[in-house]
Amino acid sequence: MIFGYARVSSKDQNLERQLKELEEYGCDKIYYEKRSAKDFDRPVYREMRSKMRFGDVLVVHDLSRFGRNKKEIHNEWKSLIDEEIDIVVLNMPILDTRKYKELESVGQLVSDLVLALFSWMVEEERLRNKEAQREGIEIAKKKAKYKGGTLRYHANAVGKDKIVYEEVVRMLKDKESVMDIHRRTRLSRNTIYKIKRELESQLMNQ
Cβ-count burial 153-162 (b if 16+ within 10 Å, e if not): beeeeeeeee
- Residue 121 has a pLDDT of 65
Domains of the chain, start order: 2-130 (3.40.50.1390), 159-205 (1.10.10)
21-53 residue pLDDT tens: 999 999 999 999 987 656 556 889 999 999 999
The H or E element spanning position 122 is helix 104-142
Residues with pLDDT less than 50, the chain: 106, 146
Q: Is 149 left (phi over 0), alpha (psi -120 to 50) or beta?
A: left
- Residue 83 has a pLDDT of 92
C-alpha closest to that of 86 among 59, 46, 112, 64: 59
- Residue 88 has a pLDDT of 93
- Residue 151 has a pLDDT of 72
84-98 residue pLDDT tens: 999 999 988 878 888
Phi, psi values for residue 57, rounded to 5°: -130, 135
Catalytic residue among 9, 79, 188, 201: 9
pTM score: 0.55
As a dihedral over the C-alpha atoms of residue 116, residue 120, residue 123, residue 129, rounded to 10 degrees, the angle is -150
Active site residue 177: no
- Residue 4 has a pLDDT of 97
